[in-house]
Structure 1
Amino acid sequence: MTQTHAVTGTFRDGLDAHLVVDRGGFRLDVALTVAPGEVVALLGPNGAGKTTALRALAGLTPLSGGHLRLDGTELDRTPPEARPVGVVFQDYLLFPHLTALDNVAFGPRCQGASKAEARAQAAEWLDRLGLAAHSGAKPRRLSGGQAQRVALARALATRPRLLLLDEPLAALDARTRLEVRARLRRHLAEFEAVAVLVTHDPLDAMVLADRLVVVEHGRVVQEGTPAGIARHPRTDYIARLVGLNLYRGEADGHTVRLADGPPLTTTEVLSGPVFVAFPPSAVTLHRDRPSGSSARNLWRCEVAGLETHGDQIRADLTGELPLAADLTTVAAAELGLHPGAEVWATVKAAQTHAYPV
């Protein structure tokens, strides 16, 4: 996502947060810095602490420690209603008895604007988000995509310096999600302050965010650009998220020795602790041990499961090296694959990618 925001005025400092929250046996300890005009996605499995972090930023969950500064102003003890923060919740939380116009006008009214001023600002935001024709509709008359945009307009109408989006596309069906994701991307690209998005959907994160912060068990395990994380995953969760087989071992030249598994051959020459990754599409399956294959990596495996993956079949393999392999429906049929079938898996060294831990 490419942005060309000018950093001026009160937006020059952005977000500087160290979020420490103790809740029962769970501890969140996440450092987060976001520049003005930048969109950061907090990504992670269920229970990782993403929503806790978002609620801490909004002031809905108090910090146990750390700090929270926005544009140089301490917000640690500022009540939620006094924070310059706009929130788009997963289920949008629109007022069912108010029209779209009055839902959006609610924020400016709370900030002291007259009814006429608030409605004028709301009408401008609805027009900006392509909803002018629906200003008089109540939430029950709106589609999922329209309701999502009304919620976004309501958050933006208060002119927040921090915009928080909690799974903003989760309530949408697949077709609507595609359209709304594209619209939301355009609106976020125009937003001049700080935006933090929470999601467990890798596509939402990759499309909408400039930078990803991956959280597991309450801590940051990796952060970087979407492309960088997709190419260099550092945990099994991230590898599954971006669709790669990932292993960790000790490199000695072209050979990587795994702690629990056979050695892997790579094209990189490395030494010491490394990760090795390759896509399921790089794996070739054979029913008999191949004799003429040029692949340097060969393992005997067993099919643990098969599932449709897009227009292909993904085979979950166990054995000498647990891995995932993608193949066409025709290839799966010709190989006679079924759970329990024994196969040989090969991967060429040139299709692996090794990088330091």
Structure 2
Amino acid sequence: MTNSAESARNLPAPPTAHPHGPGGLHARLVVDRPGFRLDVTLAAAPGEVLALLGPNGAGKTTALRALAGLTPLTDGHLRLDGASLEHTPPESRPVGVVFQDYLLFPHLSALDNVAFGPRCRGAGKAEARALAAAWLERMGLAPQADTKPRRLSGGQAQRVALARALATRPRLLLLDEPLAALDARTRLEVRARLRRHLAEFEAVSVLVTHDPLDAMVLADRLVVVERGRVVQEGTPADIARRPRTDYIARLVGLNLYRGLAAGHTVRLDDGPAITTTEELSGPVFVAFPPSAVTLFRNRPAGASARNLWRCEVAGLQTHGDQIRADLTGELPLAADLTTLAAAELDLRPGAPVWATVKATQTHAYPA
């Protein structure tokens, strides 16, 4: 039997790159459909994990399908390691895909599921099975080699799907909501395992998700897509600290406003002024976490806080081990408080409250 290293060498090589072309992924994906247009530009270096993050209907899956060749481009380009792939059929692209529901073949064992990809790329049966066995061992699944998908746990099925995608030696790995089918407890373990495997992958990985935690933990860089367009990109820390749309702010748990700064005062576009620590001039964003908001049922006597607004409780919901109050009024915002504090304030929908935020707990940055 040929060993896995020999099997890997015998697999067909990916399309030849231009001799001086840049490595990694360079793409502009334009896809027109009735009532919707996707137009996003993506770039990632070898070894980088890129996450496409956005609400339902933003175009994330369309972008993934365009990268895989399952949805044709209306315009744009797609280069991988310098090779143009726009007109390359899906089966000939050096691309591995892990679908949301994994799409394992129910009649094949875990071993033969993983061997399927190398077989399609021209490897012999023995070679493909040897390569598959090596990947299952790497994934910690050697004991499950003869197991059919229906007898695998969710986490095991996800790892088999990942092994199947990696066994073809792809230069681009696509993951479509790879943790969505898992329960909360399994998700924690599998997320950690997946992070380790992606860190070892030497080519480009693109992860599609609407879960901010998956994106923050797994990706080196985030690309946020809304309505078919890129609205923000950067490292997870940059995105979390400086959100630029309401969707992103909600995602990372911040109150976000836009206005015009003059020194330490920001006059909001649709609301009152906010006093900030930063001294800026011109269009800015102002953000602060719901935990920075303090609520009072009556206007606090002798309050020195400059950021003081009269509001009304629009709704209450459990948020982790706290209560999140959605407020309307002079400044719509979200406030987090303990269950005890909410009870002592007798908070209920329609109740009037005063909200304060210290300037030191705000964060202003150029828009």
| Same fold, TM-score > 0.5, yes or no | yes
Q: Is 1:281 the counterpart of 2:291 in the alignment?
A: yes
Code of the residue aligned with 2:129 in structure 1: it is R
Secondary structure class of the residue paired with 2:46: coil
The offset of 1:12, in angstroms, is 6.3
Secondary structure class of the residue paired with 2:134: helix
What does the per-residue CA deviation read over 1:57-114, in whole Å, with 9 as the maximum and x for residues that have no partner?
0000000001000000000000000000000000000000000000000001111111
Match of 2:24 in 1: 14
Secondary structure class of the residue paired with 2:313: strand
From 293, 297, 302, the equivalent of 2:307 is 297
Percent identity between the aligned chains? Answer: 85
Matches of 1:267 and 1:173 in 2, distance apart? 42
The offset of 1:292, in angstroms, is 3.3
Match of 1:157 in 2: 167
Matches of 1:113 and 1:27 in 2, distance apart? 39
Code of the residue aligned with 1:278 in structure 2: it is F
Assess if the C-alpha contact under 8 Å between 1:58 and 1:83 holds in 2: yes
Match of 2:54 in 1: 44
Match of 1:3 in 2: none
From 37, 44, 63, the equivalent of 1:27 is 37
Code of the residue aligned with 1:331 in structure 2: it is A
Secondary structure class of the residue paired with 1:249: strand
Match of 1:222 in 2: 232
Matches of 1:119 and 1:189 in 2, distance apart? 25
What does the per-residue CA deviation read over 1:180-229, in whole Å, with 9 as the maximum and x for residues that have no partner?
00000000000000000000000000000000000000000000000000
Code of the residue aligned with 2:116 in structure 1: it is F
From 274, 288, 310, the equivalent of 1:264 is 274
The offset of 1:295, in angstroms, is 2.1
Runs of 4+ in 1 over 3 A off after TM superposition: 9-12
The offset of 1:291, in angstroms, is 1.7
Assess if the C-alpha contact under 8 Å between 1:294 and 1:348 holds in 2: no
Matches of 1:111 and 1:20 in 2, distance apart? 29
Matches of 1:24 and 1:278 in 2, distance apart? 39
Q: Is 1:248 the counterpart of 2:258 in the alignment?
A: yes
What does the per-residue CA deviation read over 1:202-257, in whole Å, with 9 as the maximum and x for residues that have no partner?
00000000000000000000000000000000000000000000000000111111
Q: Is 1:306 the counterpart of 2:316 in the alignment?
A: yes
Q: Is 1:339 the counterpart of 2:343 in the alignment?
A: no
Structure 1 unaligned spans of 5+: 1-8
Secondary structure class of the residue paired with 1:252: strand
From 144, 148, 153, the equivalent of 1:143 is 153
Following superposition of structure 1 onto structure 2, how do residues 95-110 of structure 1 map, counting pairs within 5 Å? 95-110=105-120
Q: Is 1:180 the counterpart of 2:190 in the alignment?
A: yes
Secondary structure class of the residue paired with 1:318: strand
Assess if the C-alpha contact under 8 Å between 2:22 and 2:82 holds in 1: no
Matches of 2:184 and 2:250 in 1, distance apart? 21
Code of the residue aligned with 1:193 in structure 2: it is A
The offset of 1:293, in angstroms, is 3.0
Q: With structure 2 as the length reference, what TM-score do the two structures score?
A: 0.94
Code of the residue aligned with 2:227 in structure 1: it is H
Root-mean-square deviation (CA, aligned residues, Å) is 1.1
Matches of 1:101 and 1:245 in 2, distance apart? 49
Q: Is 1:89 the counterpart of 2:93 in the alignment?
A: no
Structure 2 unaligned spans of 5+: 1-15
Code of the residue aligned with 2:361 in structure 1: it is Q
Match of 1:6 in 2: none
Equivalenced residues, count: 349
From 116, 121, 134, the equivalent of 2:126 is 116
From 356, 359, 365, the equivalent of 1:349 is 359
